[in-house]
């Protein structure tokens, strides 16, 4: 895998290669036009990327007016609600309206059979809309008793992944926040634009308006700001302030959740330490038991991170601070993502995501949440086709029961399916609604008068 000289991930993939790309293709421009969302304020229609959108949202917020999503124009708009976060206004989907939005709209949601989200919404996730916060029920502790060294480490499969939808596992919470942030969606307009700054901002907005354990979730989750040497002292001060609650003495001490990209996992004097990018001087200590369980449970994700060139390893874990201010992990979960931060589960999954991205397609990546690893699930859902199409992979060597479950899922789904027998070459992907236009032969540029030969 590409690593910088210091062992860090090479961020060059986050930047647009201006030497190789002279400009967006006609197809990419068309896709960007399709990505444009609009909202209706009374008789005024405002594009989602309009410079004056915030002023319209502020006026509607003060007047308690619901903007309408215009995704099904000329049909009637779909009511939305407005939330305020960090001095900005956010437009949110009303509970129970996901199916009313058009395929490809940011507010559209996959049918339950195509995502693990369906198993947790209404139980582990209770959406309050604009009437109150969304309440999340977590299946892991957020406190540490003084008599214990740590809560039970969540390295075993039974501790981190289960089909029970009444509470979110660590991975379930990570997938929920990833989907709320829109990071499992892709369109050509996003190419070259997803840096850690963008990912963190999207996650911060996703945390807003959520509660867990009777407290705002945003106060319980730490996502590091993009680090730079010049801002190190400023960022350290903000981190200390964000974690101040963890230093309060008492019989029960609070814990926090950390989400970040792994830079390295290295031996320490009495165990291991996990180093996150953007937190170079603040490692998270792991005892040998947690590290052993983590390596066993997430061997596939770690192997993909190590072998796939542009892969990143994203972790979520609970941690506490010792008397000296050192962070120690109590539980840990992980997922591997592409250079564009799209999650994937295996090499075949990655090949589909790469093929769709290279072909400038628009799609949603299905996420498991609490579902077991061997439960049948779609890989992706195309959102640029006339009707949605779910993409499935039949993994070579899968047990007959797994193949039967996959075929049953495809047959029972309300969404048309495309199947790749992964032991064979990948079939042609379903065509988009607006096919890629033929490339035009442009005339050679003429030289300006007086130009050198």
Give the Cβ contact number of residue 250 at 10 Å.
8
Q: What is the pLDDT of residue 102?
A: 78
Q: What is the pLDDT of residue 360?
A: 95
77-92 pLDDT, tens digit per residue, is: 888 888 887 778 888 8
* Helix orientation angle between 288-297 and 299-307, rounded to the nearest 10 degrees: 80
pLDDT of 134 > 60? The answer is yes
Q: What is the pLDDT of residue 107?
A: 76
Judge whether 352 and 380 are in contact, CB under 8 Å.
yes
Q: What is the pLDDT of residue 160?
A: 46
Q: What is the pLDDT of residue 88?
A: 83
Confidence of residue 36 (pLDDT cuts 50, 70, 90): low
Q: What is the mean pLDDT of residues 341-350?
A: 97
Q: What is the pLDDT of residue 48?
A: 79
User: Using alpha carbons only, what angle is made at residue 336 by residues 405 and 4, rounded to the nearest 5 degrees?
Assistant: 155
Confidence of residue 436 (pLDDT cuts 50, 70, 90): low
**Mean pLDDT score across all residues of the chain:** 84
Q: What is the pLDDT of residue 380?
A: 97
103-120 pLDDT, tens digit per residue, is: 668 777 778 788 999 899
The region of weakest confidence among 142-151, 266-275, 316-325, 353-362 is: 142-151
Q: Which of 281 and 252 is assigned the larger pLDDT?
A: 281
pLDDT of 31 > 70? The answer is no
pLDDT of 100 > 90? The answer is no
Q: How far is CA 390 from CA 14, 90, 154, 312, 434, in A?
A: 28, 30, 32, 25, 18
Nearest Cα neighbor of 106 from 167, 56, 171, 38 is: 38
Q: How many CA atoms lie within 13 A of 399 on its CB side?
A: 6
Q: What is the mean pLDDT of residues 125-131?
A: 80
Nearest Cα neighbor of 305 from 269, 332, 343, 271 is: 343
Q: Which of 420 and 30 is assigned the larger pLDDT?
A: 420
pLDDT of 147 > 80? The answer is no
| Helix/strand/coil (H/E/C) assignment for every residue in 322-367 | CCCCCEEEEEEEEEEECCCCCEECCHHHHHHHHHHHHCCCCEEECC
Q: What is the mean pLDDT of residues 4-18?
A: 38
Confidence of residue 443 (pLDDT cuts 50, 70, 90): low
pLDDT of 435 > 80? The answer is no
Q: Which of 101 and 392 is assigned the larger pLDDT?
A: 392
Structure tokens at 142: 């957020």
Confidence of residue 266 (pLDDT cuts 50, 70, 90): very high
Confidence of residue 59 (pLDDT cuts 50, 70, 90): confident
Q: Which of 363 and 449 is assigned the larger pLDDT?
A: 363
Q: What is the pLDDT of residue 310?
A: 94
pLDDT of 2 > 60? The answer is no
pLDDT of 156 > 80? The answer is no
pLDDT of 375 > 60? The answer is yes
How far is it, in rounded angstroms, from Cα 115 to Cα 184? 11
The region of weakest confidence among 19-28, 63-72, 235-244 is: 19-28
Q: Which of 44 and 451 is assigned the larger pLDDT?
A: 44
């Amino acid at each position: 895998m590409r690593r910088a000289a210091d062992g860090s991930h090479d961020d060059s993939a986050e930047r647009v290669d201006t030497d190789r790309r002279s400009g967006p293709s006609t197809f990419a421009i068309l896709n960007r036009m399709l990505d444009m969302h609009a909202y209706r304020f009374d008789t005024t229609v405002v594009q989602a990327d309009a410079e004056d959108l915030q002023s319209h949202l502020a006026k509607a917020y003060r007047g308690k007016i619901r903007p309408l999503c215009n995704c099904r124009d000329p049909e009637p708009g779909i009511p939305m609600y407005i939330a305020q976060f960090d001095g900005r206004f956010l437009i949110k989907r009303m509970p129970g309206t996901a199916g009313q939005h058009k395929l490809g709209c940011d507010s559209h949601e996959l049918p339950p059979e195509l995502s693990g989200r369906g198993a947790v919404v209404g139980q582990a996730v209770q959406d309050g809309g604009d009437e109150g916060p969304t309440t999340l029920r977590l299946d892991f502790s957020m406190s540490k008793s003084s008599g214990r060294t740590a809560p039970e480490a969540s390295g075993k499969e039974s501790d981190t992944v289960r089909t029970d939808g009444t509470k979110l596992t660590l991975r379930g919470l990570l997938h929920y926040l990833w989907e709320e942030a829109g990071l499992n969606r892709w369109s050509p307009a996003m190419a070259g634009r997803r840096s850690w700054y963008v990912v963190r901002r999207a996650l911060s907005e996703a945390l807003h308006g959520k509660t867990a354990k009777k407290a705002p979730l945003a106060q319980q989750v730490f996502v590091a700001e993009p680090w730079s040497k010049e801002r190190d002292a400023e960022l350290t001060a903000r981190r200390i302030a964000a974690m101040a609650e963890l230093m309060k003495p008492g019989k029960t001490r609070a814990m926090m959740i950390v989400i970040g990209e792994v830079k390295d996992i290295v031996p320490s004097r009495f165990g291991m330490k996990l180093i996150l990018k953007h937190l170079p001087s603040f490692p998270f200590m792991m005892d040998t038991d947690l590290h052993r369980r983590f390596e066993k449970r997430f061997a596939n994700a770690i192997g993909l991170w190590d072998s796939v060139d542009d892969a990143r390893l994203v972790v979520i874990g609970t941690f506490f601070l010792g008397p000296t201010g050192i962070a120690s992990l109590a539980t840990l979960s992980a997922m591997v993502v592409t250079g564009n931060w799209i999650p994937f589960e295996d090499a075949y999954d990655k090949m589909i995501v790469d093929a769709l991205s290279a072909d400038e397609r628009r799609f949603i990546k299905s996420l498991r949440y609490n579902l077991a690893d061997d439960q049948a699930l779609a890989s992706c859902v195309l959102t640029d086709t006339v009707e949605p199409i779910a993409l499935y992979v039949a993994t070579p060597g899968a047990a007959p029961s797994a193949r039967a479950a996959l075929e049953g899922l495809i047959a029972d789904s309300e969404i048309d399916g495309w199947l790749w027998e992964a032991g064979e070459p990948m079939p042609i992907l379903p065509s988009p609604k607006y096919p890629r236009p033929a490339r035009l032969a442009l005339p050679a540029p003429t030289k300006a008068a007086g130009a050198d030969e």
